[in-house]
Chains A and B, each alone.
Chain A
Amino acid sequence: MGKAIELSVCLTGSTAIHSNSGDASYPRLSRLAPIPWYFLQNLVSHGFALITRSCERDVCKHIEKGKPAYAGMKCAGKIGVEEGQVTADIENKIVVNPKFQRLVRTRQAYAWSMSAIMLIIYFGYILVVAYDKPLLAQKIGGGTTSFGILVGLGVILSAIVLTAIYVAIANSKFDALAADLKQDLI
């Protein structure tokens, strides 16, 4: 690798500036603790410049306002401030990574369709309550218990079951996809 590639990595939370430690008011490169060490080592060994996301955003704002970056902002020079352009190369690379796309497609497909199922079950139930009360009033098994009680319990159970299904899928499928993606990045 001849030329050092510049890229920014989101290392700390968006609010890390003022609440990460002690009395320091601005981000410093020394605050890299949250990132897994191997990842860090790998990046450093490739000569990547590391910049915190929070830094970068403040720089954006300052470019916008035409002000110089903070004096304490050691990272300011590293992200192409002169060009007025902010790079987020690592994320932009991850976003086009087929494994990332597969993870997102899979997870969001489950998330949205399962949300839709839950909403259909609930609002469907409400509409039956609104428009067909006799159906729910029907007795089952010749006793006092009405069909509506069963349906109501069914809606409660469906919420719990849907939640359990999602968690099971997430624990196996999504986590595996994410782990696979992270392997790629190392």
Chain B
Amino acid sequence: MARLTPYALLSAIAVAFTGSSPAWAAGALEGAVIKQAINLPAIVMFIAFVALTLYITYRAATATRSASDFYAAGGQVSGLQNGLAIAGDYMSAASFLGISGLVYKSGYDGLIYSIGFLVGWPIVLFLIAEPLRNLGRFTFADVASFRLAQTPVRIMSAIGTLVVVAFYLIAQMVGAGQLIQLLFGLEYLYAVVVVGVLMIIYVAFGGMKATTWVQIIKACLLLFGASVMALLVLIKFNFSPNEMFAAAVKIHPSGDAIMAPGGFVSNPVSTISLGVALIFGTAGLPHILMRFFTVADAKAARKSVLFATGFIGYFYILTFIIGFGAITLLMNDPSFFKVNAAGTFDKLTDLIGGPNMPAVALSRALGGSLFFGFISAVAFATILAVVAGLTLSAASAISHDLYASVIAKGRTTEKHEVNISKISAVIIGIIAIYLGYVFEKQNVAFMVGLAFAVAASCNFPVLLMSMMWRGTTTNGAVAGGLLGLVSAVVMVVLSKAVWVTTFGHKEAIFPYDNPALFSMLLAFAGIYVFSVIDRSKRADLERAAFNAQFVRSETGIGASGAQAH
């Protein structure tokens, strides 16, 4: 498998050289020759990244002996490393390319959007991180089911995890296929297969150790690449943001409007609902939550959030500068655009490669072919690392929550459980490739929003209430969690993105773009009501067991280190 990938990619070089994809077909023969020189560094650097990560996977595989190694990297990840890994999970290609693309298109609105992604992190720290580390071992279901009935709560948490991962993964796979098609000239299906196969290898062989290190390397590469880009942009303007903004306003078709809020917040309820999804969804994303089990204790957990918040905040500032840099350096250069017969082009819509490409195109404008290759390779690496993290969290939910606790009722061995996890990773990878293929031509933009909405409406309320409120019972957690999950999905189906865009109906039944404000409140209300009316003996025992959970959650007394032995 390890050797297959470079071969697949090398064969892609030929495709790219012949200039068969639209991105490379822009120029005449001379243009194609230039493209050849441009594309090679990307492929060489990407192969170097793959080779390095496969070596790390090999090392990780030999060092992975226990379930704790596989699920939680033996609990030996440091606060800084985990902070980088969390930031890596969060800084997906969607945020790097998507947000810089949004800044390029509408300026200030891109900043508003990125801020929503950041402010969830302090909330994660204040409310979730430490109790989560103190109570759990491998999955957030460990925590939610700590004093509640294992079977129903774990089934519900696993469903929440799988739904979130499914939507997130489809969005990433489709994005990956399209991006790689564009950057490397690799055919869509091959691109999706390469991503799927590599993520299976990382997860199935290397477990959390490999997944974490892939994430750390990618985070460093991405932060380095974005920093260099922002620096090169600022150098052009003598480090004066004001000069950069002035130049951008002159060039951008919207003029001075890009310096102020535009159409992004047209409906305050929609925007607040999106904010709720982004903030509380962050605190409910399974592939993020599982990272807190890879550190030794609550102190390291909080340290990792501090690092992660710092890196992510810094990164969003960089994407803002990159977006403005792209406005100033690309918009007056026809070589970056699809120029029509009349010799004109639309600065906003005709960028070669589409609306997500400003950051990548800017790298070529700033640093030539070598830097363009580097940024392309980093974008590919970013997707790989994120899908690997998603796959691992889904595989853990299947093996640790569904298989070990629900099906085998604890009567299984650690080794067997880990094997189930590895098999799950392979199956999830294959399903992801298939879904990526099926959804190629579909509009998947709403899926990341839906993933955040489900995480905010199902995982987060169940987790928070089971940790913080004595009264929470199994009935409450399961009923409330399902209520949040189902209502979030139904409201998205009835909203404009699906009801109108996909199904072709005239008017959306649910008027807002994101359901989280309503579905999350429904979930909390459901947990509260169904817990209060639960008069069973089990419920009494569960409430009585709160003290024990609370002591451990607040002090860590009795917390099992994730360390092996």
Contacts and interface: CB of A to CB of B under 8 A. Distances in A.
B538 to A, nearest CB: 6
Q: Which 6 A-B pairs have the closest CB atoms?
A: A137-B260, A13-B560, A10-B558, A91-B548, A143-B242, A130-B268
Interface string B309-330: 1100100110000000000000
A159 B118 contact: yes
Interface in A147-162: 148-149, 152-153, 155-157, 159-160, 162
A124 B136 CA distance: 34
A112 B463 CA distance: 16
Contacts of A130: 265, 268, 271
Given A163-B306, A163-B309, A185-B557, A149 B259 contact: yes
Given A18-B414, A164-B306, A153 B125 contact: no
Contacts of B411: 18, 25
22 contacts: A14-B142, A15-B138, A18-B410, A57-B147, A91-B548, A91-B551, A95-B550, A100-B554, A119-B123, A122-B115, A123-B275, A126-B272, A136-B261, A148-B261, A155-B119, A156-B118, A159-B121, A159-B313, A163-B309, A163-B310, A166-B302, A178-B555
Contacts of A91: 547-548, 550-552
A167 B538 contact: no
Interface string A107-136: 100111011001101110111011101101
A42 interface: no
Contacts of B118: 156, 159
A183 to B, nearest CB: 12
A14 B145 contact: yes
A152 B108 contact: yes
A31 B510 CA distance: 54
A108 to B, nearest CB: 8
Contact of B555 (A16, A21, A100, A119): A100
Given A14-B146, A166-B125, A146 B119 contact: no
B265 A11 contact: no
Interface string A1-43: 0000000011111111111111101000000011100000000
Nearest to B298: A170
Nearest to A181: B555
B127 interface: yes
Interface residues of B, number: 81
- Chain B interface helix/strand/loop/mixed: helix
A60 interface: yes
Contact of A15 (B137, B271, B544, B545): B137
A60 B536 CA distance: 13
Interface string A53-70: 100010011001000000
B115 A152 contact: yes
Interface string B434-464: 0000000000000000000000000000000
A10 B550 CA distance: 11
Nearest to A160: B313
B245 A144 contact: yes
A138 to B, nearest CB: 9
Interface in B399-440: 400, 404-405, 408, 410-414, 417
Contacts of A149: 108, 111, 241, 245, 259
B245 A145 contact: yes
Contacts of A144: 242, 245-246, 249, 256, 259
Contacts of B142: 13-15
Q: Give the bracket for the number of chain A residues in contact with chain B.
A: 35 or more
Contacts of A21: 66, 414
A170 B306 CA distance: 12
Interface in B507-565: 537-538, 541, 544-545, 547-548, 550-552, 554-561, 565
Given A12-B560, A144-B249, A160 B261 contact: no
A128 to B, nearest CB: 9
Contacts of B554: 100, 103-104, 107
Contacts of A60: 541, 545
Nearest to A134: B260
Interface string B33-47: 000000000000000
B261 A16 contact: no
Contact of B260 (A33, A35, A143, A146): A146
Nearest to A132: B261
A162 to B, nearest CB: 5
Contacts of B538: 64
A141 B245 CA distance: 13
B73 interface: no
A88 B260 CA distance: 58
Nearest to B561: A34
A145 B107 CA distance: 12
A45 interface: no
Contacts of B249: 144
B558 A9 contact: yes
A46 interface: no
A133 B259 CA distance: 11
Interface string B180-208: 00000000000000000000000000000
A153 B316 CA distance: 10
